[in-house]
Structure 1
């Protein structure tokens, strides 16, 4: 068994990789189209909202470090059946979310380099196989690889910002709210999923050398990195591109063209690859360990439990995720299923996991503390967001029903515990004096 544990640098890289996604390549433009320069307020508001979500999960992970992640928190707060439902939401949503994420990355790379649908599918397949291969090798490899890739990504984003800043014009901030300040809300809704992912890495809490100490530090460092990259990129896009920002589908390419010229397309393609791979790598690391933990707890077949201990590689759980992801890909290709519904269905499950984890935090964290109030606020906001999933809420409801049904079925099949064997009763013979007999 491997004794490898996640350090601060690798942990921060995995966390950042889970939060960052290929969406930041296009979302600055979409948010500016909705709210103009006032979209910067949406970026800032969501970054502030990340604080209570991230600190709640960090506090829970420090108290209950386990590969079950949110499912473990929910088990402590609401019992085993609720925990099984939450575990199913995350585990079985990933085979839909991972191929969809790979396809988005493939689209961006193919579009940037002038390729078509065949190139998109090829890039997506390579990304998906690379993410599974990295996790099969274990956290020692995938964590170090994540550290290198996130470091490279951060450098490229900073290059894009720094080289474009000389072209910034403060006049591009006016009019600041061309569609009114009320448009900041829809812009924030659009940007929300670029700040999600904190629930995915809770399953790695047991992999840290000292969860109580390291999770807090990693969370702080991740928030700092996200703040610099997101706010720096959004502000530079607004100041440099101005009105042109709302009319482009590839704002980062335009930004890079200001500083790097003809190399912009190639650099953007590399960044899309790094962003997509980093997200899938982090989510797979968490989901595979969750699957092993669910099997350990009797919510999935026991054969999948191998690898649930810290330092081990849950290869059987990964293999099942790979098979399910492949089936989703085949189904989507055969039926011509659109990307949007697949992503919305997976998102409904991931949001439901976040809500469940925050509600567990309200139950488990010290009542009245700052982190408790943060969990309360975040739980309310996330519940409202979950309600907007509409008909896609049927998927987490169905998965929850299957999880509860499996638990009940396995409980009935489990042999009843034998009655405890009691020692035979031996009659006590009283002493003559006690019987009142005289000689």
Structure 2
């Protein structure tokens, strides 16, 4: 059944509007104070040319395998393998961070600090891995329902809390200096990953050349309004406390509505996290098997969906034990996402015809290169992953077939996209 523009818009919003928004306003405020709103605005403005670039690629190559296909067409199979590796190895690392957002809300209700966060992570991981081991999937309708729930929660939160806003909370505007805005922007990349899903959906539209640009424009507008509204409300209502809150949406709802809203937001946070983790872990386990089939990963540990699922599970548990704080972990993951965007927009410059769309791709490329620099040292992890992919592929005589089957290495893990971040 073909996608309508409304359905495509909903799926595109779901691909970007991830669970990170339940905690990112606090993380950004901790980095830059009220000036974090500038970082939000910059990322929203960047979303327009970035999303438009992937929409143009999807409209020109409908039904293609996503970013890896465009990169393969532009730069060859080894670069496409680097895209696949960046997604595959980023997901286990990002899973504990995503669960930590929900864990903060549960701990806000039950107490227990890191122990409660760990318990929430293990609960969510166990549910998702069990579902995928036995082939159970959250349906596309359920995934969209979870996204709609999140969007509704954001709207209710903003409407309820705004009467308590105080302009005095905007001062001092940049308590950590203007460099904090760049640091906040690097963290916020987590919440804007997912625009590549626009191109992967293109083949499902009735008329890709007409519907993809319109659905993408609507999605950019919806995501931008929701993100900026929640971020501004957090700063204006919570003030300096916005950067210290483990559960900012619960604090805002409590300020606006009172009553047992903290328990409700904790339940919603856990359900959203399970849905998002399911989408990414399911997709990543299949991606690992596809990469192994193409020769881009070793067949023994990754050759089947269940083998890849075991790797992702153990990798996520190991990532939780790493001696990194939440910010560093997020930067390691967003560095991988940003590198994928760099390769994708660079491919667009070679594949798209001259004109405004190609200029937009150039603008997006410059912007995402800047974001990779802002990521700092954690960006080296993404470069190491990509370099390892190229070296491994080069070491194999039959590294990756140059036939069209290489397009099956699709970096977007979402059949029904609801992203982890």
TM range (shorter): 0.7 to 0.9
Counterparts of 1:332 and 1:391, CA distance in 2: 15
Say yes or no: does 1:260 pair with 2:247. no
In the other structure, the counterpart of 1:359 is 346
Change (3 A) 1:202 1:412: closer
Aligned partner of residue 398 in structure 2, secondary structure: helix
Aligned partner of residue 390 in structure 1, secondary structure: coil
Q: Give the Å deviation of 1:73.
A: 0.5
Counterparts of 2:296 and 2:63, CA distance in 1: 16
Aligned partner of residue 261 in structure 1, secondary structure: coil
In the other structure, the counterpart of 1:110 is 107
Say yes or no: does 1:43 pair with 2:34. no
In the other structure, the counterpart of 2:414 is none
Change (3 A) 1:327 1:30: closer
The C-alpha deviation readout for 1:120-145, integer Å capped at 9, x for no partner, is 3343234335555379456xx53211
Change (3 A) 1:287 1:173: same
Counterparts of 1:206 and 1:289, CA distance in 2: 20
Choose from 314, 330, 343 the match for 1:327: 314
Counterparts of 1:173 and 1:357, CA distance in 2: 37
Change (3 A) 1:143 1:74: same
Q: Which moved more, 1:258-267 or 1:47-56?
A: 258-267
In the other structure, the counterpart of 2:16 is 19
Q: Give the Å deviation of 1:101.
A: 2.1
**2:109/2:263 contact within 8 Å kept:** yes
Q: Give the Å deviation of 1:359.
A: 0.6
Q: Which moved more, 1:155-164 or 1:405-414?
A: 405-414
Q: Give the Å deviation of 1:110.
A: 3.1
Counterparts of 2:371 and 2:123, CA distance in 1: 33
Q: Give the Å deviation of 1:297.
A: 4.7
Choose from 216, 238, 241 the match for 2:213: 216
**2:296/2:399 contact within 8 Å kept:** no
Say yes or no: does 1:68 pair with 2:55. no
Larger Rg: 1
In the other structure, the counterpart of 2:229 is 232
**1:12/1:218 contact within 8 Å kept:** yes
**1:17/1:282 contact within 8 Å kept:** no
Paired residues for 1:174-213 under 5 Å:
174=171, 176-177=173-174, 183-199=180-196, 202-208=199-205, 210-213=207-210
Change (3 A) 1:48 1:285: farther
Say yes or no: does 1:147 pair with 2:133. no
Paired residues for 1:336-351 under 5 Å:
337-338=323-324, 340=326, 342-351=329-338
**1:291/1:300 contact within 8 Å kept:** yes
Counterparts of 1:347 and 1:412, CA distance in 2: 27
Q: Give unmatched runs, 5+ long, in structure 2.
A: 402-421
Query: Under a length normalisation based on structure 1, what TM-score does the superposition of the two structures give?
Result: 0.76
Counterparts of 2:136 and 2:203, CA distance in 1: 18
Matched residues, number: 397
Counterparts of 2:254 and 2:284, CA distance in 1: 38
In the other structure, the counterpart of 1:381 is 367
Counterparts of 1:41 and 1:35, CA distance in 2: 9
In the other structure, the counterpart of 1:88 is 85
Change (3 A) 1:282 1:100: same
Greater RCO, CA 8 A, separation 6+: 2
Aligned partner of residue 366 in structure 1, secondary structure: coil
Counterparts of 1:256 and 1:197, CA distance in 2: 27
The C-alpha deviation readout for 1:367-415, integer Å capped at 9, x for no partner, is 2x2221221122122223324443652554355434553465252899x
Change (3 A) 1:49 1:56: same
The C-alpha deviation readout for 1:53-96, integer Å capped at 9, x for no partner, is 11111111222234631110001111122212222221232233
Change (3 A) 1:182 1:304: closer
Q: Give the Å deviation of 1:355.
A: 0.9
RMSD (Å), alpha carbons = 3.6
Q: Give the Å deviation of 1:108.
A: 3.5
Aligned partner of residue 86 in structure 2, secondary structure: helix
Counterparts of 1:108 and 1:76, CA distance in 2: 44
Counterparts of 1:37 and 1:336, CA distance in 2: 31
